[in-house]
Amino acid sequence: MIVRLECDETDIERTVRYMTKTQKILARHAGLESVVPGQLIKARLDLVMGNDITAPVAISEMEKAGLDTVFDPDKIVLVMDHFTPCKDIKSAGLCTQVRKFAKTHGINNVFDVGEMGIEHVLLPEKGFTAPGEVIIGADSHTCTYGALGAFSTGVGSTDMAAGMATGLAWFKVPSAIAVRLKGRLRPGVSGKDVILHLIGLLGVDGARYQSLEFLNAEALSMDDRFTIANMAIECGAKNGIFPVDTLTLEYLKGRITRDFTDDAFGDEADYGRIVEIDLDALEPTVSKPFSPDNTALAKDLGDIKIQQVVIGSCTNGRISDLRIAADILRGRHVAKGVRCIVIPGSQDVYLQALREGLAEVFISAGCALSTPTCGPCLGGHMGILDAGERCVSTTNRNFVGRMGHTGSEVYLASPAVAAASALTGRITAPEETAQMEREGA
């Protein structure tokens, strides 16, 4: 016997009302009135992104499958950021493959040495990401663009290949966790502390294949939101997403000229879990090796000596991050035996740092100032660790061997903690350096 289940209009309206922001975006891009968690859908893509590591694999997969056209050359962005400027012959070959592919298919959005940036800093900066869009990238931190109210998520290179060829991708509709924010961040505390705290609460798989939907974000800057959305994947989330408010619209002004849709958060959205974070109570937080959820307060780790500090990455390489670090380093010098590497997230960030005198602050403090690159974040170049070395880094992962030797250690932290630690040679909360300054140390 076949039983046919039919929904009347009231049922559909109820389902729509219970949809989360992410689900509304996916439904619209799938041409459906509503979707439910766990449903498999085929959705239209607004943008496909790849870099110098992942794009070559996708290109090879397209060639194997006999796919010789792309769906829209203007909706594909290729960024040479992981190993560039090329560190060896192999990385040079990968970049050559990407350049040839772009030329063959008329892809003009190629960002190479001299005009590139770290992809997740560069794309929002250049206006490639907008609210309500569906964006995939062959890089796990593609979830960054949720800061602008987009559904963006990382995929494998095979999915990138299919996306470039067809402009479509399959998704399983995620359920959601609501993160309700209240209060305001104290001085010395930033979005990095918010997301490290949240990952510590949820665990690295606590939001597996779920959407993290951040509510009441008025107290957070856009750069805080980018940082938080960037690391949604570190607790297993499919994506992180923020409301579109006046701050978002101000950021988009002059960057976005195309129309976009703001899918509002549902007042009665069906969240599987609600987590509340009191921003007033947060303190500078650090993730200890070898997992982002292994968190502790910076003030409790002052006996851990370090050899390297990295300030930059797709998580914390924006101009506000550099300003925070420069304010702490200004007129002082990094501790003897500590290597401090500062990496602007894009050419525009680099140029702004020059205009504001931040570059002079860093160099005078004994830091190395790099061209934009992912560099040491994934053990690429510009700061590889040897056995037994420890690094405080503003990057997003601290797995075994992430930044070099498997016997090295990476501690994830905010730009304020990283800069303070560079001055003392040990993990240091920013308030400690402020106290030192008051005492004339």
pLDDT in tens, 306-324: 999 999 999 999 999 999 9
Domain boundary among 260, 282, 304: 282
Whether the ω angle into residue 85 lies within 30 degrees of 0, i.e. cis, is yes
Confidence of residue 5 (pLDDT cuts 50, 70, 90): very low
Q: What is the pLDDT of residue 79?
A: 98
Quick one: 237 and 322 in the same domain?
no
If asked whether residues 203 and 324 sit together in one domain, one would say: no
At 264, is the pLDDT very low, low, confident or very high (cuts 50, 70, 90)?
Answer: confident
Instruction: State pLDDT tens for residues 180-232.
Output: 999 999 999 999 999 999 999 999 999 999 999 999 999 999 999 999 999 99
pLDDT exceeds 90 at position 9: no
pLDDT of residue 302: 85
Based on the fold, state whether residues 294 and 273 are members of the same structural domain: no
Please state the domain count of the chain.
2
Residue 262 reports pLDDT greater than 80: yes
Angle at which helices 347-355 and 319-329 cross, to 10°: 40
| In a shared domain, residues 205 and 81 | yes
pLDDT band at 14 (very low <50, low <70, confident <90, very high): low
**Same domain, yes or no: 338 and 401:** yes
For residue 28, the model assigns a pLDDT of 97
CB 427 within 8 A of CB 323: no
Contacts of 98 (CB under 8 A, 6+ apart): 50, 52, 55, 56, 59, 78, 80, 110
pLDDT > 90: what percent of the chain?
91
Question: Is pLDDT above 60 for 384?
Answer: yes
Judged by phi (left if over 0) then psi (alpha if -120 to 50, else beta), residue 313 lies in left
Please tell me whether residues 257 and 315 are part of one structural domain.
no
Per residue in 394-437, pLDDT (tens digit) is 999 999 999 999 999 999 999 999 999 999 999 999 988 766 66
Q: Judging by DSSP bridges, how do beta strands 40-44 and 168-172 pair with one another?
A: antiparallel
Please check the confidence at residue 6 and state whether its pLDDT lies above 90.
Answer: no
pLDDT digits (tens, 9 = 90+) for 321-365: 999 999 999 999 999 999 999 999 999 999 999 999 999 999 999
Average pLDDT over residues 287-315: 97
**Cα(232)–Cα(204) distance, integer angstroms:** 10
- Lookup: tokens for 221: 């800057």
Q: Are residues 37 and 171 in the same domain?
A: yes
Is 5 among the domain residues? no
Q: Cα(151)–Cα(129) distance, rounded to whole angstroms?
A: 10
Q: Is 13 a domain residue?
A: no
Q: What count of other Cβ atoms lies within 10 Å of the Cβ of residue 41?
A: 17
Instruction: Look at residue 416 and tell me if it is in a domain.
Output: yes
Domain-embedded: residue 440:
no
* Domain end (from 236, 254, 282): 282
Residue 368 belongs to some domain of the structure: yes
* Cβ partners under 8 Å of residue 49, min gap 6: 76, 77, 78, 79, 119, 123, 128, 135, 136, 137, 138, 139, 142
The domain containing residue 356 runs over which residues?
287-433
Q: Quote the pLDDT of residue 17.
A: 77
What whole-number distance in Å separates Cα of residue 395 and Cα of residue 411? 9
Residue 2 placed within a domain:
no
Average pLDDT for residues 33-49, to the nearest whole number?
A: 97
Instruction: Assess whether pLDDT exceeds 70 at residue 178.
Output: yes
Q: Do residues 266 and 332 share a domain?
A: no
Whether 355 and 216 share a structural domain: no
273 and 294 co-located in one domain: no
Determine the Cα–Cα distance for residues 69 and 281; give it in Å rounded to an integer: 53
Task: Note whether 167 and 190 are same-domain residues.
Answer: yes
Radius of gyration of the chain (CA): 22
**Residue 329 shares a structural domain with residue 220:** no
Residue 7 tokens read as 């929904």
Report residue 1's pLDDT band, with 50, 70 and 90 as the boundaries.
very low
The answer on pLDDT for 441 being more than 60 is: no
pLDDT of residue 56: 97
The answer to whether residue 14 is domain-embedded is: no
CATH number where 77 lies:
3.30.499.10
Last residue of a domain, one of 282, 311, 331: 282
User: What pLDDT band is residue 84 in, cutting at 50, 70 and 90?
Assistant: confident
Residue 77's pLDDT band (cuts 50, 70, 90): very high
Residue 12 lies in a domain: no
- Whether the bond between 290 and the residue before it is cis, its omega within 30 degrees of 0, is yes
Over 50: is that where the pLDDT of 4 sits? no
Closest by CA position to 213, among listed 78, 396, 436, 20: 20
